[in-house]
């Protein structure tokens, strides 16, 4: 039985909703800063409002584990979708930058609850020997949607204005939430504590793992997210027009998509370290090469390398989280695990922007390369300690 035949039951309930959700996110993300500027916010305040989506994800990770453990994946997805709907509505109707900021924050919280519930469901229903492929396919569909989203948003924006991107995002949140809310909750471990355990308990109980391999997760999140600040800043440094810069980024995103699913296959066959370490090293190479790109062609080459590195990293953190989560507190642990990565993703762009105001942009970008190498070293050291080689057995059908 082929992999896609085995995963087919998850197509309408997990993979398609992930793509729809990604379309909404891809349509809404580019217009947050533009809407903030239209409302009179300065460039700095607009940047902070954009960052609040990441902060909301970090804040949402904290209670998300207990929410999923207590109420199950299905009801958590419904709750996350309701929060997201309210957040996007606030952004769509925002009359001041403060209201837009609240909408961005709630959107991030929704993403955390929604994302944890989806990953938790996949980890429960997919056989371990196919786990990385399932996680990579999940990430692939989200990224495919995120790539399509800006184009769908642009068509609506042409008709109704800048906030048309939020309208597409609103539809994406509602439709994806409905599609995935139809799945039944997977069975719980018999020894799972009623009502779950607190995040503080999880952090204390697994402090050694989270302080070591979790540091690698944080560094990987920072390295991957910082590229969204580094590439635009360098394109601006070169004086590229927005259309040219967008073309370059689109090519990089396409390479990202092409590498996502093969990465999952390689992880299932050769282990998690086999992909996690090279992914970060490839990203490091792109950061070190970026200051040497002096025209659009060189920048395009760097974007391709960066896209390949990021694409091979798709699904790594989700797969590791599923591998190392203890059966009795899986949802709570995965929330703590997501917190390490999401905190890195929140810090990465902020560090890149802050460093560029203190030192030369080329130096700041090279520092991101050092962060990537450090992440690769931590992953190389600690992945074998906390994960085992993937089991080899004939795949079984997943539950729909």
- Per CATH, domain 196-390 is 1.20.1250.20: yes
395 band by pLDDT with thresholds 50, 70 and 90: very low
In the prediction, which pLDDT does 111 show? 83
pLDDT classification of 245: cutoffs 50, 70, 90 = low
Q: Note the CATH architecture for domain 1-186.
A: Up-down Bundle (1.20)
Q: What is the mean pLDDT of residues 298-312?
A: 89
Q: CA–CA separation, 316 vs 183, rounded Å?
A: 25
Please tell me if the domain spanning 1-186 has the same topology as the one spanning 196-390. yes
Domain ranges of the chain: 1-186, 196-390
Element holding 132 (H helix, E strand): helix 131-160
Mean pLDDT of 123-145: 76
* Sheet strands (E) in 57-112: none
Q: Print burial letters for 253-269: b (CB count within 10 Å at least 16), e (below 16).
A: bebbbebbbebbbbbbe
The two tokens of residue 113 are 């609850």
Does the pLDDT value for residue 81 go beyond 90? no
Higher pLDDT, 276 or 77: 276
pLDDT > 90 in the chain, percent:
12
Our CA dihedral for 101, 102, 107, 110, rounded to 10 degrees, sits at: 150
Under a CB-based contact definition with an 8 Å cutoff, are residues 215 and 374 in contact?
Answer: no
Instruction: List phi, psi (to 5°) of 188.
Output: -90, 155
Closest by CA to 88, choosing from 114, 68, 58, is 114
- What average pLDDT does the chain have? 78
CA distance 260 to 265: 9
Query: Model confidence at 4, in pLDDT bands (50, 70, 90)?
Result: very low
Q: How far is Cα 58 from Cα 39, in angstroms, rounded to an integer?
A: 26
- SS3 call for 58: helix
- Burial of residue 1, with CB atoms counted within 10 A of its CB: 0-12 exposed, 13-18 middle, 19 or more buried: exposed
pLDDT band at 393 (very low <50, low <70, confident <90, very high): very low
């Amino acid at each position: 039985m082929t992999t896609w035949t085995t995963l087919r039951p998850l197509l309408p309930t997990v993979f398609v909703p992930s793509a729809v959700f990604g379309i909404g996110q891809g349509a809404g993300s580019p217009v947050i800063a533009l809407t903030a500027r239209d409302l009179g916010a300065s460039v700095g305040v607009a940047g902070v409002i954009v960052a609040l989506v990441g902060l909301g994800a970090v804040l949402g990770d904290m209670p998300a584990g207990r929410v999923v453990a207590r109420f199950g994946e299905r009801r958590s997805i419904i709750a996350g979708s309701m929060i997201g709907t309210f957040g996007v509505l606030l952004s769509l109707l925002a009359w001041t930058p403060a209201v837009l900021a609240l909408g961005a924050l709630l959107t991030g919280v929704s993403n955390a609850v929604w994302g944890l519930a989806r990953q938790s469901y996949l980890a429960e229903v997919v056989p371990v020997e196919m786990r990385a492929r399932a996680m990579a396919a999940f990430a692939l569909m989200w990224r495919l949607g995120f790539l399509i989203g800006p184009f769908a948003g642009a068509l609506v924006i042409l008709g109704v204005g800048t906030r048309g991107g939020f309208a597409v995002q609103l539809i994406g949140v509602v439709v994806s939430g409905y599609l995935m809310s139809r799945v039944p909750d997977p069975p719980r471990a018999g020894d799972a504590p009623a009502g779950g355990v607190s995040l503080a308990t999880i952090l204390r109980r697994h402090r050694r793992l989270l302080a070591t391999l979790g540091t690698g997760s944080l560094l990987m999140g920072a390295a991957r997210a910082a590229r969204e600040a580094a590439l635009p800043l360098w394109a601006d440094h070169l004086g590229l027009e927005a259309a040219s810069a967008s073309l370059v980024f689109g090519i990089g995103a396409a390479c990202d998509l092409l590498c996502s699913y093969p990465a999952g296959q390689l992880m299932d066959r050769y282990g998690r370290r086999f992909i996690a370490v090279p992914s970060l090293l490839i990203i490091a190479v792109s950061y070190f090469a970026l200051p040497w790109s002096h025209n659009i062609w060189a920048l395009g080459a760097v974007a391709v390398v960066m896209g390949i590195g990021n694409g091979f990293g798709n699904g790594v953190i989700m797969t590791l989280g599923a591998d190392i989560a203890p059966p009795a507190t899986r949802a709570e642990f995965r929330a703590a695990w997501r917190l390490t990565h999401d905190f890195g993703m929140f810090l990465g762009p902020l560090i890149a922007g802050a460093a560029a105001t203190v030192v030369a942009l080329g130096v700041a970008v090279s520092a991101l390369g050092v962060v990537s190498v450090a992440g690769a070293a931590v992953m190389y050291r600690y992945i074998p300690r906390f994960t085992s080689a993937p089991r080899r057995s004939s795949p079984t059908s997943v539950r729909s």
